[in-house]
Amino acid sequence: MQRKIITICLILVSLIFVQCSQKVKKDEQKPQSKIERLVANYADVKLETDLNVLSENQKKMLPYLFEAAELIDELYWAQTYSQSSELKESITDSNVKRYFEINYGPWDRLNGMQPFVEGVPKRFDGANFYPRNMSFQEFDGFSDLEKYSSYTLVRRNELGSLITIPYHVAYKEKLIKIADLMKKAADLAEDKSFKKYLEFRAEALLTDKFYDSDIAWMEMKDNLIDFIVGPIEDTEDRLYYTKASYQSMILIKDKKFSKDLEKYSLLLPFLQKSLPVDDTYKTEIPGDLSDIMVYDVIYCSGYWNTGSKKIAITLPIDGQVQLKVGSRKLQFKNVMEAKFDKILMPISEILIDEDQLKHVKSKAFFENTMFYEIGSALGMKNTVNGNGTIRDALKEQYNVIAECKNDILSLFFVTKLYEMGEMSEGDLMDNYVTYMADVFRSVRFGISNDQGVANMIRFYYFEEMGAFERDKSGKYKIDFNKMKEAMLKLSEEILVIQGDGNYDAAKKLVDGKGFIRDELLQDLYSIQKARIPKDLVFIQGIEEASKLN
């Protein structure tokens, strides 16, 4: 009996030891320090695709494009943080160094650009585009109109006066290398339109004149490889939102998927005319070359590799190019799939009503994202009352209102196409519930950027219209009819604000709804406790891309 008791005790001790060991092991896997938790906000994703679809010449092009993209990365570092090398060398903690690399500097891009490296001050809004000691009054009094150019740096001369330096002069050495690599790639191009684009874009980098290369890019239709490169987006400049950052992407087109979406490209003029607003506000018809393309991303550098990663984008950004030839809506299939699996679905399981969870679908996520990009291309670029461009009329409110428009029109277009019978595979309810779930994915970034503020406006507009309800457990359930009604009303309100260039109405909307209230903060905290990543960090390079070769 005594032996049996001893045996049982030994078994119990063993079980307790195993359970404790498992608990310790499990605890060890969880991020322990603040910086470890910050790094864990990003999920690693390999950028791969099937390179067997490429010809031998196309495969030979890739090393040139990868090298060019790496140089673009160096240019972006110079634009965003000039002391990066010195600070990085001084960092001894591997996690801090890793987060420094992810954020391209010591400021957290998922947390309002707050510094995470000890001793680093608040980020200068002008990044490295302007002198840090430049005052607003000094800039206003600076008579050189090139100060407003997207492709100039503002610097001081030896006397301390402000001067402008064109990008192609300031970064001449590296730009010559990039252009040379692009020309070598162009020599291998079998597609004549891609060859033309690479040559035109290489020249544009050396002159800062991008119009012709944008037109050449829009004329490309059959190329399998694409290389988007240059100073494009201006949101790194948080002082005047004028200076464009260097960025690049190497893409492999999914030709079948892109072909399947051609019918939506043909419907763009119809969708513009169908906007839920008076005819006065929809007179601008997209150019004939407008299209939708689907790609896998195999390399991303510069601004596009920072913080929250793109799942889609509409290019060219130049409104004059869009009016003349249209725009291309690029959908990044492999990045989108990763965000759905690693982020959106886990969030939905926490916050979406169990009866509606079945409606959260990757197909709906893709469609909603695609029509967001279409929303960015449609609508208007100029006011209807002669007040110039919408951008100029809405001033600092422009980007937030534009994001609102793109977001809400995506749901409008999906609804319209289902009603027309142009979309029939699936259930419109999938798009509505997935749209709601994606709001939570987006609002986690807070209101530190324009997209974040737009997310809050959309969320609280829906709430006030009764488009969803939240139960005591924190689960959300949408009311389809009320959500549709709210969507139509917000679409009209945003389009009228833009068309009228109504700055006061835009500011009122932003001030009234562009912030996070306490109840939503609790829901975001429940997501954070579940350790669901906020975004992705790419494992990329020629070796990663060629693994399926």
Taking each helix axis from N to C terminus, what angle separates 480-500 and 428-443, rounded to the nearest 10 degrees? 60
> What DSSP designation does 389 have?
B
**Domain spans of the chain, in order of start:** 33-266+287-326+537-549, 351-516
Omega before residue 316 within 30° of 0, cis = yes
Q: How far is CA 545 from CA 52, 302, 310, 516, 549, in A?
A: 11, 18, 18, 40, 8
How does pLDDT run along the chain (549 residues), one tens digit per residue?
444 444 434 444 444 444 444 444 444 456 579 999 999 999 999 999 999 999 999 999 999 999 999 999 999 999 999 888 899 999 999 999 999 999 999 999 988 899 999 999 999 999 999 999 999 999 999 999 999 999 999 999 999 999 999 999 999 999 999 999 999 999 999 999 999 999 999 999 999 999 999 999 999 999 999 999 999 999 899 999 899 999 999 999 999 889 888 888 888 888 999 999 999 998 887 766 688 899 999 999 999 999 899 999 989 999 889 888 988 999 999 999 999 999 999 999 999 999 999 999 999 999 999 888 888 878 888 999 988 999 999 999 999 999 999 999 999 999 999 999 998 888 999 999 999 999 888 888 777 678 888 989 999 999 999 999 999 888 999 999 999 999 999 999 999 999 999 999 999 999 999 888 888 888 888 888 899 999 999 999 888 876 544
State the pLDDT at residue 448.
65
pLDDT at 265: 80
* The predicted structure's pLDDT at residue 547: 59
- Which residues does 417 contact at the CB level (< 8 Å), separation at least 6? 264, 267, 423
Please report how many Cα atoms fall inside a 13 Å half-sphere around the Cα of residue 406, on the Cβ side. 22
Neighbouring CB atoms inside 10 A of 23's CB total 10
Q: Specify the pLDDT at position 430.
A: 96
Which CATH code for domain 33-266+287-326+537-549?
Answer: 3.30.540.30
Beta-carbon count within 10 A of 7 CB: 10
78 closest CA partner among 301, 307, 302: 302
Which residues 6+ apart lie within 8 Å of 233 measured at CB? 244, 245, 247, 303, 304, 317
Helix and strand numbers, DSSP H then E, in the chain: 25, 13
pLDDT at 82: 83
Are 106 and 115 within 8 A, CB to CB? yes
Show the tokens assigned to 516: 């996070």
Q: What is the dihedral of CA 118, 121, 127, 131, to 10 degrees?
A: -130
